[in-house]
Amino acid sequence: MFGYTLRDTLISVDHVGVTRGDTCVLSDITVDVRDIVRDDVADQGQVVGFLGPSGIGKTTLLRVIAGLDVPTSGHVMIDGAQAQPGKVGVVFQSYPLFAHRRVLGNLVVAARPTRISRDDAESRALDLLDRFGLTARARAWPAELSGGERQRVAILQQLLSGHTYLLMDEPFSGLDPVAKREACNLISEIARTGERVTIVIVTHDIAAAIRCSDHLWLMGKDPDRDGARIVDTVDLIARDLAWHTDCDRRPGFAELVRQLEDRFDKLRGVS
């Protein structure tokens, strides 16, 4: 098992509730993401797999953390400051790119908020394209990219925008098994670009979330209580399932997947 230390709180969700009209969507959600410092890796970031059935409210909480929606109650703090738009990067399922710009052009535009020169932006973009296996696609148009390639470019856009916090909405949706494994490897690789790099993955894909996360949040409902909440957290480091390239072949992986699958009906609030 890997040695590590938990340090600063990076993201704090404190008693967050969201009500829309007469409907309670989220109820009293309190959860934190802390800086993980590994003994054997200099730049290990954090990856939280945020699990729950479809339609339970995961994307609503993602939008609150991103500062895109204001909670009805409670608050979210990012690095000790109130969450606000632009504080974290958000990668939605559509992976929007400028159709009239090639891949490299899209990435150079993404770097504008950092106020670096165009030459520096292009140099950094080319370095990232090389690191993540996209050098050959630098001159491609977005329409020429596969779904997996668009996803990688969308993530690199957020890194070039200066974001160390990334929220990813259903990154495994529609991917075949090979592409899904590549996406897991990509997320793990992104997390190793800096100690404070933090990725929150919103998904209902249990196995994929376990493969690339160090902690899991489980969102669900109680039959006798309005609104979804965080009903449990799972420490994958303590289970020796985090940071392994062969995670899905390790003891305990299949059993944890089965346990979480069995809980999904209950997470929907089914009595």
Residue 112 sits in the same domain as residue 174: no
Which of these, 49, 20, 93, lies nearest to 242 by C-alpha position?
49
- What is the pTM assigned to this prediction? 0.89
CATH at 40:
3.40.50.300
Residue 211 sits in the same domain as residue 84: yes
* Count: domains in the chain: 2
Residue 62 sits in the same domain as residue 135: no
The SS3 call for residue 230 is strand
Residue 185 sits in the same domain as residue 258: yes
> Longest C-alpha distance within the chain, in Å?
59
What is the C-alpha to C-alpha distance for residues 172 and 163, in angstroms, rounded to an integer? 21
- Give the end of a domain, one of 162, 194, 216: 162
Residue 124 sits in the same domain as residue 179: no
- Give the end of a domain, one of 129, 162, 195: 162
Residue 57 sits in the same domain as residue 111: no
Q: Which of 124-128, 150-154, 196-200 has the lowest mean pLDDT?
A: 150-154
Residue 130 sits in the same domain as residue 51: no
Residue 53 sits in the same domain as residue 177: yes
Residue 108 sits in the same domain as residue 237: no
Query: Are the beta carbons of 38 and 7 closer than 8 angstroms?
Result: no
- Give the end of a domain, one of 162, 179, 203: 162
Residue 201 sits in the same domain as residue 149: no
Q: What are phi and psi of 223, to 5 degrees?
A: -60, -30
pLDDT tens figures, 162-219: 889 999 988 888 778 888 888 888 899 889 988 999 999 999 899 999 999 999 999 9
pLDDT tens figures, 162-174: 889 999 988 888 7
pLDDT tens figures, 228-262: 999 999 999 999 999 998 999 999 999 999 999 99
Residue 121 sits in the same domain as residue 243: no
Residue span of the structural domain in which 58 resides: 4-88+164-267
What is the C-alpha to C-alpha distance for residues 119 and 4, in angstroms, rounded to an integer? 38
Residue 13 sits in the same domain as residue 43: yes
